[in-house]
Structure 1
Amino acid sequence: MERSEEQWLTHLIRCHDKDLPDLRLLNSYYEGTQPLSYMAPELQQELQETVRQVVINWPRLVVDSVEERLDVEGFRFPKEPDSDDELWRIWQANDMDEQSQQGHLDALVMGRAYVVIGTREEDDRTPLVTVESALDMFAEFDPRTREVRAAVKRWSEEGEDGKVAHATLYLPDATSWWVREKGVWVEDPDHERDDHEIGEVMVEVLANRPRLKCPNGVSELVDVVPLSDAACKIATDMMVSAEYHATPRRVAFGFGEEDFVDANGRKVSAFSRIIGRMWATEKNRKTGQDGDGADVIQFSEASLGNFHETIKQLASLVASLSGMPPHFLGHATDNPASADGIRSAETRLVKRSERRQRGNGGTWERVNRKVMRLRDGVWNPDARSLETIWRDASTPTVAQVADAAVKKYVAKIVPLRQTREDLGYTQAQIDRMEEQDEQAAEDAMQRVLSGDLAALEAGPKPGLFDDAEPEPAGPVPVGG
């Protein structure tokens, strides 16, 4: 049964409202504002503001350790050695260097983020691309094609009578804007609908770990949240114990309020009494007619070592589930690990990051296909094989990278451009280097033609190495 636009709108909003509580909870874990778990309400009421929750924010560490390795460096058409300058111009014009990082981050935290493609009124050659949070947006997939068949974005603005709810509905042939008036959604008269008739929804989903039955993705925090709750509980209990048991407790017999004084006879504060600073009194411990029966007993303090060991065990479980090296979670040994040992410990994390690159690369390639469709007015068949270029997810040393790149170049395994890409230079830097190489070669040729051989020998030599290859070739990208 075909749904009307209003039916699509209400259906998508209902689905979004169902997901919002879980999305907000996951977001609170990343921000470190999650509620305290495992503590009895009676104890919370008793402690009140005396002891606040101690948050060990492992969820943020788990997410950031992957997100820091997801950097897009360009897009390339098939059989082209260089990245496409025009697609990179549009990428930069939309501040996608920053927005893509935010999208990757939200996808890792909440399972998904969204990318919206639209026209830019002031420049039809530069389509508008924005990244949206799952807290504001929801998309539904077609079960047959697994493509987005409808999406909605919601927000609120201050109006004369309070906040006014707005929504944008994205369908395969049209994008429309709506406003809620008197409890009913109506088309916003201030926005002209866009009947683009492209046949595809101008929305793509950045899904984290999508599955065949779960195309919207899964949060990277699912496995970590229970362990994080346990660690926060243990750390909070440790602070409660430090408050009530880590300081030695004393019991004073035969003392009155006037007896708690310092060496100069001045009364001590309540804090001094609890912590146990020096007390002075004229009373003695003898009983009977000659004594006052005064006495002080001290209990032994409690050890906090059991809390430390529990937190260490929980940290080991987090490292095991998330693929992070133990030293990321503060595990240190008397003998520091070697450089090779550290890189070996990061193997699972690197592979996990490369998997995210592959999945997100497919999304960015679909986004660029729609960008070109809006720019050119027709679908580009070559864009079906578009490739995303990612920065290396591993963390080798500069010396190792340089050594490996030079050896592959000298052995004529890779050309000069590939060598420069392996060394980590950006596409703009490589282009500038190649221009300088060409200029140096032209200058050398001019010297040869003019017979100035001495100047030729003293002048700069073209290329990074003497036997530079003339034909460049690009890197093997990670992407759809």
Structure 2
Amino acid sequence: MADEQQLSRALNLVEILEKELVTRCTDIDKYKAYYRGEQPLKFASDEFRKYHGQRYKDFSDNWVQVVADSPVERLTVNGIKPYGDDTSDAESMRVWQANGLDADSQLGFLGAVTSARSYALVWGDPDDEETPVVTFEDASSCIVAYEPGSRRRRRAALRRWQDGDKYMAVLYLPDEVWKFERPVERRTKTEDMAEVDMLLDGWLPRDMGEEPNPQPNPMGVVPVVELLNRPLLVDDPISDVSGVVAMQDAVNLLWAQLFTASDYAAFPQRVVLGAERPMIPILDKQGNVVGEKPLDLEKLAADRIAFITGENAKIAEWTAANLEAYTNVIEVAVGHIAAQTRTPQHYLIGRMANLSADALLAAETGLVKRVEEKQLWYGQALREVFALVALAQGDEEKAKALRSGYMLWADAESRSQAQLADALLKLKQIGFPFQFLAQRYGLTPAEIVDLLAMIERENELDPLGAAARLMGQDSGPADGTPQADGEAAA
């Protein structure tokens, strides 16, 4: 059992880290709500909000989701190659697959894109010592503290979540792991009572039965890794959603105004000019008229009746409103979102008229570079995740090699099959090996191994055909004519 000094230090760390985590959650919850399309109507005038605000409170033209999803759909981990090895590490990918991270990694990447950061946690599994547990965690539930002057050396990490009427917390240190709990905050009426609740409902070590608390950390490092999105040298990382929120609010308001104009002014409108203001009789309890009061003209306006007082009353008419004025501005606003976030216009506008393959690739250049930047930063964190897996398995040398290795990602660029095959054929003709070409084609390391085994079995069944194919690949046409561009050798 830990002494009082250790416990006091651990409790102090939990309180400080939780306070910073709660502060971050304000923006995190906002960005996640915008991703889901829960976007309040903003920038509206007081008059518009008074008469129409509730009508559009549940409406949003959600471009935030498109901006966030567009890079994530191109982030696919194919493997990791340790430093000094010629092939990817099969054991690391076995653990990756066993934890379902081929799917859950997409959730982790989306969390980082939306909330500016997400986390990966690695811990040993007592039921399967060869397969550590790896999970991705949301930015609202985890926080990591680093050593002063470092953005990589982790000193502590906290994971907090709610379980029923209690908050649970796990404090990860390089040498030990603490587990705490406390009741969910109670609503109090006065500041003094709030202080009493804080003292009574503070963090306490969780009763773990026969399991020690704290327990030793066999890996010797904090097992939580932070995936940063668009990090800065001296400031917090930036969410891809943060820069879209203001323009998203403007687009929602423009649509609300367009709907209102369509409802009120899409057809010719009639107006009464010059008539006296209508009066409403005032009745007593017996139903007798005891006076009169003027009709509320604002209510008439809400009921789509324009009543203008004055002499010589007459009826006039104006033509229907031109709604294209709104749609043109909305299209410009969406174009700004595309330019600012490097999201291809055809993802947002949906116009693809007679685009050639080269034009389509050029249109997606910004998105491809954006994805490659995320591969760089997320890959750095994932190398550390795979190193933690090796440490959990007790292999320190492999952990060092994985930290110095590099990630294998699926191609971030989208090409047609014909374009890709033509490019790979040209690379083959100048001497690139088959395994490299198979990787560029998009096959995972496991699929490449299976493909090589299939080729070997095929060659064993037909050795003469294999020799003929090999000779055909190494020589040009028999008549000596030059080979056409992109044409395979006979």
1:323, CA displacement in angstroms?
A: 1.3
1:222 equivalenced with 2:242 (yes/no):
yes
Q: Is this contact kept in 2: 1:369–1:379, CA < 8 A?
A: no
Unaligned residue ranges in structure 1 (runs of 5+): 255-273, 277-293, 446-455, 469-480
Shift of 1:416: 1.1
Whole-Å separation in 1 of the counterparts to 2:468 and 2:225: 44
> Which residue is 2:166 aligned to?
164
Among residues 139, 146, 155, which one is paired with 1:149 in the alignment?
A: 155
For 2:281, the equivalent position in structure 1 comes to: none
Q: How far is 1:84 from its partner?
A: 1.0
Mark the CA change 1:338 to 1:328 in structure 2 (over 3 Å): closer, same or farther: same
Quote the Cα distance in structure 2 between the aligned partners of 1:465 and 1:238: 68
For residues 237 and 470 of structure 2, what CA distance do their matches in structure 1 show?
44
Counterpart check, 1:358 vs 2:364: no
Deviations 1:195-244 (A, max 9, x none): 12543211000110111113x52101222111111111111111111122
Matched, 1:209 2:218: no
Task: Give the C-alpha shift of residue 307 in structure 1.
Answer: 0.8
CA apart distance, 1:249: 2.2
* TM-score (norm: length of structure 1): 0.80
Identity %: 29
| Residues paired across the two proteins, number | 415
Instruction: Please tell me whether the aligned partners of residues 219 and 388 of structure 2 are also in contact (alpha carbons under 8 angstroms).
Output: no
- Pairwise CA distance, 1:170: 1.2
Counterpart-to-counterpart distance in 2, 1:275 and 1:230 = 25
**RMSD value over aligned CA atoms?**
2.8
The equivalent residue for 2:328 is 309
Map 1:373-392 to 2 at 5 A.
Answer: 373-376=391-394, 378-380=396-398, 381-392=400-411
Partner of 1:97: 102
Q: Which amino acid aligns with 2:35?
A: Y
SS across alignment from 1:376:
coil
Q: Following the alignment from structure 1 to structure 2, what is the Cα–Cα distance between the partners of residues 431 and 377?
A: 25
- How far apart are 1:355 and its partner, in Å? 0.7
Equivalent residue, structure 2, for 1:65: 70
Q: 1:27 to 1:46 in 2, by over 3 A?
A: same
d(CA) in 1 for partners of 2:125, 2:219:
16
Q: Distance in 1 between matches of 2:130 and 2:472?
A: 42
Structure 1 position 237 matched with structure 2 position 257: yes
Cα distance in 1 for partners of 2:34, 2:203 equals 33
Query: Structure 1 residues 41, 418: CA separation in 2 closer, same or farther (over 3 Å shift)?
Result: same
1:432 aligns to 2:450 (yes or no):
yes
Change (3 A) 1:432 1:19: same
One-letter amino acid matched to 2:328: E
- 1:418 correspondence with 2:420: no
Q: Do the aligned partners of 1:176 and 1:192 also contact (CA within 8 Å) in 2?
A: no
CA–CA distance in structure 1, aligned partners of residues 315 and 149 of structure 2: 80
Q: Are residues 89 and 463 of structure 1, via their aligned partners in 2, closer, same or farther at CA, if it must alter by over 3 Å? A: farther
State how 1:206-355 maps to structure 2 within 5 Å.
206-214=227-235, 216-251=236-271, 297-330=316-349, 332=351, 336-355=354-373
Question: What corresponds to 1:28 in structure 2?
Answer: 33
How far off is 1:377 after superposition?
Answer: 5.2
The separation in 2 between residues aligned to 1:299 and 1:387, in whole angstroms, is: 68
> 1:143 Cα deviation (Å)?
2.3
Equivalence for 1:395: 414
1:384 shift after superposition:
3.0
Query: 2:195 is matched with which residue?
Result: none
| Pairwise CA distance, 1:173 | 1.3
Code of the residue aligned with 1:38 in structure 2: it is: F
SS where residue 4 of structure 1 aligns? helix
C-alpha displacement at 1:148, in angstroms? 2.3
Given the superposition, is the C-alpha separation of residues 242 and 437 from structure 1 closer, same or farther in structure 2, using an over 3 Å criterion? same
Residues 59, 228 of structure 1: 8 Å contact kept: yes
The one-letter amino acid paired with 2:237 is: G
Consecutive unaligned residues in structure 2, runs of 5 or more: 184-199, 276-302, 306-312, 475-490
- 1:122 aligns with 127
